[in-house]
Amino acid sequence: MSELNKNNLTKQIEQKFSNYRERGLSMFVSSSFQSHSLPLLHILSRFAPETPVYFLNTGFHFPETMAFRHVIAEQMGLNIIDVVSPVSKSGQRDDQGKFFFVNNPDHCCYLNKVLPMEPVIAQHDVWINGVRRDQTKFRATLQEEEPLADGKLRYHPMLDWTSKMIWEYRMEYNLPEHPLEAQGYLSIGCMPCTRSFQESTGTRQGRWAGMSKEECGIQTEFVKAEAKAEAKELQ
């Protein structure tokens, strides 16, 4: 990434933040704390470190992710807030006593990601989300700003960044790598639903291996119906 291009991209994000502030809008960021999450967090830490960064603590994350989250928070001085499901783990089992992620991962994602995110969105005006077009078919249909319910807005500052641009930014600023990437984990979510790239035959490089599932729900449940319909046509 050229110095000029990098500066332009980061300046655009900073200007967008300034615009939201001038309009009196309350903002928050969500992050999964993977390696590709770091450029956005690093950019925000330089001019808006007070912005709350919500982490969906499902209780099923890899220990490495939890440790990495702590390291990044310390290094960047981030204002991280854990979000947990209002449904206890005892209420997340089917009639046979198995956790829902075994036979119904969509419902597991709803309980641990969609449901706890609802009150967070209700408290703010703008949700800053680091998704990129090159990640899934659904994300390829998104716009930089997407309207949510009740007049809320979701802003995607990294939407047109590529994996190469993410890597170059990380190298330039010496940002660390999630420790599981060295073991072949290229998309890291909850332990039960994540496989290394070598083990996976599914999409998104190891998430929900063997299934057609590509999204956990927080990307699809809150955006406008038009985006959902367009993504369905591409499947």
The reply to whether 216 belongs to the active site is yes
Active-site choice (108, 109, 190, 216): 216
Q: How far apart are CA 66 and CA 192, in angstroms?
A: 15
Instruction: Please spell the DSSP secondary structure of 87-118, one letter per residue.
Output: S-GGGSB-TTS-BHHHH-HHHHHIIIIIHHHH
Q: How far apart are CA 93 and CA 111, in angstroms?
A: 11
Strands 145-147 and 126-129: unpaired
- Contact between 83 and 55 under an 8 Å Cβ cutoff? The reply is yes
Task: Report the chain's C-alpha Rg in angstroms.
Answer: 17
Distances in Å between the alpha carbon of 163 and those of 1, 39, 53, 83? 11, 11, 22, 27
- Contact between 70 and 47 under an 8 Å Cβ cutoff? The reply is no
What one-letter code names the amino acid at 158?
Answer: M
Closest CA to 189 of 65, 38, 36: 65
- Tokens at residue 16, please? 């967008």
Annotated active-site positions, please? 216
